[in-house]
Amino acid sequence: MLKQIHQAGPWLLARIEKLYSAAFTPAWNPFYHLGALTVFFFWVVVVSGIYVFLFFETSVTHAYESVEWLTHTQWYLGGVMRSLHRYASDAAVVTIGVHMLKEFVTGRYRGARWFSWFTGIPLLWMVFPLGITGYWLVWDQLAQYVAIATSELLDVLPIFSDPMARNFLTNESVSDRFFTLMAFLHLIGFPIFLLFGIWLHLLRISRPTVNPPLGLMIGSLAALTVLSLLWPALSQAPADFSQEATGIGFDWFYLLAYPLLDFGSPALMWLVLVGSSTLLCLLPWLPPRRRSPAAVVSLPDCNGCGRCVADCPYNAVSLAPRTDGMAYAEEAVVYAELCTACGICAGACPTATPLRRRSELVPGIDLPGLPIRSLRDWTLAAAVQPGGEPGASVLVYGCASGVNLAALRSSSVAVVELQCIAQLPPAFIDFVISRRHADGVFLLGCRECDCHFRFGVQWMDERLAGKRDPYLRARVPRERVATYWGGLVTETEIAGEINAFRARLHALGPYQPVPATQATDEVAP
Amino acid sequence: MTKTWARYAGQMAAYAAFIALLGYFATAPAYRPVDPEAAMIKLSFIHVGQRKVECRKMSPEEIALLPPNMRLTLDCPRERLPVLVELELDGKLLLRRELVASGLSRDRASSIYHKFVVAPGRHVVSARLRDSARREGFDYTRSTDIELKPRQNFVVDFRAEAGGFSFH
C-alpha cells in the first residue's frame, strides 16, 4: 500500500505542480513554498489579530458586542482585519495539510528527515487549539457549541475534579475569569508554543525558507483581502445557553473532528486524535528501512575548505579543528544521524575530480554507497557506446528521484544515475567532454525549486554559472552541456529534450579540445 | 505577450479556487450537532456527600497525644459517602447513578454532567438525591411540570445550601 502511494503520489503531484509552475513559474509555485506560506499566514494572523484585539473586550457581556462593532461599524478596516484573521488561519490549515501530504507521498519524511516530520506533529496540536480558542472568544452560537463540546471532551480526561462543562450550563454560570483564561491561551499561550515549535521543526535543516517569494506573499494577501471584502467573516447569533446551538455555520478546517464527539463519544474522539497523531509520529519508521550509509570524510584528502559544509542541506557536516597534524586549520566532520546520503557534499568537494592523475580517486568527503570512484568507473563504462551516431553521443547524469533513467538508454545515449544531481562534481562534465567520452552532457534533475534534497538543482545551476564552488571550468563549451529540471515527467518528454540536444550537438560537429597549455587538470587535495 | 497573460489568468484562477475553498468551508455546510426539533435536559451538579463515618468527640487523653498545633476536639474521618441520583421523565427513569466522591481519599465532591435529548412538549421531570447513609428513600426530591420548546436547554442543578434541586 505504502509502496503504491510512494509510486503514484509523486507522479500525480508532479502533474499538478507542473500546472502551477506554468501559471506561477517554478520560483513562485505555491507547492514549493508550502511551509513558508504557512509561516506567512501565521504572521498575517498575528498582525490582524493584534488589530482586532485592540477593540476586543475580554468579558462575557461585551465580547460579542465589541466584535460586532468592529465587524459592522468599522467594516473597512476592523471587519477586513477580522476576516483576514479567520481566512489566513484557515489558509494555514490548508497549506499545512498539503505540506504534510506532499512530504509523505514523496517520501521526504524518512531516514534522517524523521526529525522535521516528527516535530511537525506536535505543531498540529498547537495550531488547532489556537484556532478553536479563537472561535470561543467571539461568543456567538459557534462559540457556545465549541465551549460546551470542548469542555465535554476535556472532561473525559482525569485532570479536572469537577466537570468543566458545568461552566456553560446557563447564561449566568459563565464567568469572566474563564473567558480571560481562554483569551490568554489564544493570545499568548498557544502562539508562544507555536513559535517554539516552528523553531524546533526547522532546527535540522540548513537555510530554512521561512518567507515565501514576495510575489507569492502579495498574491496570497491580495486574494485573502478580496475574500474578506466579498465574503466577510461574520458572527452568528449571540451565545444563549438556554437554547442548544444547532444549524451553525461551521469552520470545517478547524472543527472537522468535532462530529466524532457528537455522533460518537468524547472517548472515541480522543482515540482518533491520539491514535492518528501517534501513527503519524511513527510513520518515518513504518516499516523500518535500512538507511543508506552516511557520507564519510577521508582526512588525508580533506583540506578543510568548507564547501561541503556550505552545500549540505541538512547541517550534517561541520568544520572542526584539525586532528591529524596536517597543515590545514580545520577538517570536515559528518554527523551521520543527520546525513540523508544525498552526496551533495561529495559533489562540492574540490578533490572529487576524475581528472586527477592518481592511482585511486578518493575525495575529501564521499558516499560509501555511491563513491565518486564508482561514478568515474560508471562514466567510463557508460561512455563506451559502439555503433552510436557519430558527433551526437550524449551522457546523461540523472538523479534517482526522477524518471526511470534506464528507459532513456540507446546506442547514442548513455546514462549514469546519481543520488542527487549536485552529487556530480562539475569536473566530471569537463572530463566527459574534454576526454571525448561523449559529445555532450545532459543533466537531469528534480523540478526547479523542488529538489528532493532541497538544494541540488540550485547548487548545480550555480556551479555551471560559475557562481558557486566548485565551478565548471571556463574551457568547457557550454553549448555541449544541457540541463533539464523536469522531475517526474514522462520518459517520452525527456527523450524529446535529449533528441533536440543531440541535434544541436550534431550541428556543432566534433569537439575541438582546448590546447594542453591552457588546461590544468590536476587539482591539489 | 499572450503567454504572459495566460500565466496571469492561470494565477488568478488558482487564487480564485483557493479563496472559494476557504470561503465555503469556513462556514458551510452548516452543522447540526443536535436535532433542531429536539429539546435537551442537562443534569449536572457538584455536591459533597455526608461523611462516611460520623465525627467523634475525642477524649482529653487523645487530644493530649496530638501535636499542639493539631489539637481538635473532634475526630472526623475524611471519606465521604457516594451520592445517589435519579432523574425521571414522565415517570420513566432516565438515569440512576451512584456518584463516588472524588479525591484520592474519596473526601471531595461527587459530580455529574449528563445530557438527554428529549422530545419537546409537556413533561414531568422528577429528580431525587441521597447523600446520607440511609438505605431507603432520598434526602432531596423535586418534581416539576415543564413545557419544553424545540432546542430548549432545561438544566437540573443541585445546591444543598439553596435547598436542593433547582430547575433552569
Which residues of chain A lie closer than 8 angstroms to B155, CB-CB?
169-170
pTM as predicted: 0.89
Gyration radius of chain A over CA positions: 29
- How far apart, in whole angstroms, are the C-alpha atoms of residue A242 and residue A153? 21
Answer whether residue A515 shows pLDDT above 80: no
Domains and CATH numbers, chain A: 33-240+250-285 (1.20.810.10), 296-518 (no CATH)
User: Which pLDDT belongs to residue A410?
Assistant: 86
User: Which pLDDT belongs to residue A385?
Assistant: 59
Query: pLDDT band at residue A384, thresholds of 50, 70 and 90?
Result: low
The pLDDT tens digits of the residues spanning A20-30 come to 999 999 999 99
Which residues of chain B lie closer than 8 angstroms to A145, CB-CB?
31, 33
User: Which pLDDT belongs to residue A522?
Assistant: 42
User: Which pLDDT belongs to residue A523?
Assistant: 40
Decide: helix, strand or coil at residue A344: helix
Answer whether residue A413 shows pLDDT above 50: yes
> Do A474 and A461 meet the contact criterion of CB atoms below 8 Å apart?
no
Chain A and chain B share a number of CB contacts under 8 A equal to 131
B26 vs A30, A86, A149: nearest CB: A86
The pLDDT tens digits of the residues spanning A261-294 come to 999 999 999 999 999 999 999 999 998 877 889 9
- How far apart, in whole angstroms, are the C-alpha atoms of residue A512 and residue B7? 42
Answer whether residue A73 shows pLDDT above 70: yes
Query: pLDDT band at residue A358, thresholds of 50, 70 and 90?
Result: low
What is the average per-residue pLDDT within A224-251? 95
User: Which pLDDT belongs to residue B1?
Assistant: 60
Answer whether residue A493 shows pLDDT above 90: no
Place of cell 538523479: A399
- The domain defined by B39-53+79-167 folds into Immunoglobulin-like (2.60.40)
- How far apart, in whole angstroms, are the C-alpha atoms of residue A331 and residue A352? 16
The pLDDT tens digits of the residues spanning A208-223 come to 989 999 999 999 999 9
> Do A223 and B15 meet the contact criterion of CB atoms below 8 Å apart?
yes
- Domain locations in chain B as residue ranges: 1-31, 39-53+79-167
CB B113 to CB A152 under 8 A? yes
| Chain A, window 132-161: residues with a beta carbon less than 8 angstroms from a chain B beta carbon | 145, 149, 152, 155, 161
Q: What's the first-to-final CA gap in chain A, in angstroms? A: 47
- Measure Cα distances from B2 to A20, A441, B5, B13 in Å: 17, 33, 5, 16
For A63, the grid coordinates are 465580547
> Do A38 and A96 meet the contact criterion of CB atoms below 8 Å apart?
yes
Backbone dihedral angles phi then psi of residue A381, each to the nearest 5 degrees: -70, -40
Answer whether residue A524 shows pLDDT above 50: no
Answer whether residue A319 shows pLDDT above 70: yes
User: Which pLDDT belongs to residue A60?
Assistant: 87
Query: pLDDT band at residue A424, thresholds of 50, 70 and 90?
Result: very high
CA of B142, closest CA in chain A: separation in Å?
19
Decide: helix, strand or coil at residue B31: strand
The pLDDT tens digits of the residues spanning A142-165 come to 999 999 999 999 999 988 878 999
Strand pairing report for A440-445 and A296-297: unpaired
Strands (E), A71-190: none
Backbone dihedral angles phi then psi of residue B120, each to the nearest 5 degrees: -70, 165
User: Which pLDDT belongs to residue A403?
Assistant: 80
Cis peptide before A293 (omega within 30 of 0): no
Give the 3-state DSSP-derived string for A437-488, with helices as H, strands as E and coil as C.
CCCEEEEEECCCCCECCECHHHHHHHHHCCCCCCCCCCCCCHHHEEEEECCC
Q: Which of A143-152, A504-513, B56-65, B104-113 has the lowest mean pLDDT?
A: A504-513
> Do A304 and A329 meet the contact criterion of CB atoms below 8 Å apart?
yes
- How far apart, in whole angstroms, are the C-alpha atoms of residue A245 and residue A234? 16
User: Which pLDDT belongs to residue B156?
Assistant: 96
Place of cell 544525498: A342
DSSP A515: P
What is the average per-residue pLDDT within A179-200? 93
Q: Please choose, from the candidates A392, A198, A215, A371, the residue with its C-alpha nearest in 3D space to the C-alpha of residue A294.
A: A371
Residues in B lying within 8 Å of A, measured between beta carbons = 7, 9-11, 13-16, 18-19, 21-23, 25-36, 39-40, 42, 44, 46, 102-103, 108-109, 111-113, 151-153, 155, 157, 168
CB A242 to CB B152 under 8 A? yes
Q: Is A143 exposed, middle or buried (0-12, 13-18, 19+ CB in 10 A)?
A: buried
Cis peptide before B120 (omega within 30 of 0): no
Q: Please choose, from the candidates A415, A413, A412, A414, the residue with its C-alpha nearest in 3D space to the C-alpha of residue A388.
A: A412
In percent, how much of chain A has pLDDT > 90? Answer: 75
- Measure Cα distances from A468 to A323, A459, A504, A519 in Å: 28, 7, 27, 20
For A406, the grid coordinates are 534506464
CA of B120, closest CA in chain A: separation in Å?
12
Decide: helix, strand or coil at residue A184: helix
> Do B52 and B80 meet the contact criterion of CB atoms below 8 Å apart?
yes
> Which residues, listed in sequence order, are joined to residue B158 by a DSSP beta bridge?
B165
Q: What's the first-to-final CA gap in chain B, in angstroms? A: 71
> Do B112 and B96 meet the contact criterion of CB atoms below 8 Å apart?
no
B27 vs A145, A245, A249: nearest CB: A249
User: Which pLDDT belongs to residue A411?
Assistant: 84
The pLDDT tens digits of the residues spanning B123-150 come to 999 999 999 988 889 999 999 999 999 9
For B117, name the nearest residue in chain A, comparing CA atoms only. A244
DSSP A4: H
Mean pLDDT of chain A: 91
CA of B57, closest CA in chain A: separation in Å?
31
